[in-house]
Structure 1
């Protein structure tokens, strides 16, 4: 899967706001070229909302273990929830990843190297082996984000 294929797929889900920061738009330089997906049915970035998935194209401070400085390398990060996290990693989000886990392995679903405790998964350069799983995880993250949004915006019954 290419970055453009992932962006097209996720942007096609209902209510998704896709942001790709670039020079001159007021965003921090470290975010330029990365892509952020939020559930925002009104098209406005949620004020305190966290994206449900991102694509990062470079190492960030404190997040170098995926080795995104390799040419053509990017990582899809997905807030797929505890159940999906456990199914794909074999452990809960708060348990450490096995010593054999390599966050830089390509075409492999892994615990996110920084946000695993929040049940985030990651895939470096998703390919043939992980394309179906990546799409499924992105759908799951979208569904969870929509449910959070609905809980926050639906008035409580009287």
Structure 2
């Protein structure tokens, strides 16, 4: 899978806002070339909300173990929930992981930094992980949509009680 294929796939899901930072949008330079996916049917980055998936193209400070500084290397990061995390890693998010090589390509692993929060990661997804990555992205999208709808319902309920 290429980065563009993944971006097209996720952007095609209902209500997804795909953000690709670049030099002309005021975003930090380190984020240029990466991609962030939010559930946002109105097309605006939701306040105080994390993306449900990202694609990073370089090492970030404190997150170098995937070795994204290699040519043509990127990592898909997916907040696919505790159940998916347990399925793919064999342990709960807060339990210690024993990943021997977080930079290995085409393998679903706990995210090297955010695994304790239930994030999964795949460096250079390929033939072995193509279906899994798509399924995990659909799951992350569904979970993000459910959270957004729950927040929207809570806001509507609290405003109905005013007045």
Alignment TM-score > 0.5, same fold: yes
TM-score (norm 2): 0.94
Give the C-alpha shift of residue 101 in structure 1.
2.9
Larger radius of gyration: 2
**What count of residue pairs does the alignment treat as equivalent?**
157
Q: Distance in 2 between matches of 1:116 and 1:108?
A: 14
Shift >6 Å, 4+ stretches: none
Instruction: Specify the SS of the correspondent of 1:42.
Output: coil
What value does the CA root-mean-square deviation take over the aligned residues?
1.1
Decide whether the 8 Å contact of 1:65 with 1:113 is kept in 2: yes
Q: Distance in 2 between matches of 1:83 and 1:153?
A: 24
Q: Distance in 2 between matches of 1:56 and 1:152?
A: 28
Specify the alignment match of 1:129 in structure 2.
Answer: 128
Q: Distance in 2 between matches of 1:125 and 1:104?
A: 9
Q: Distance in 2 between matches of 1:142 and 1:105?
A: 25
Q: How does 1:55-94 map to 2 (within 5 A)?
A: 55-94=55-94
- For the pair 1:142 / 2:141, whether they are aligned, the reply is yes
Unpaired runs of at least 5, structure 2: none
Give the C-alpha shift of residue 96 in structure 1.
1.1
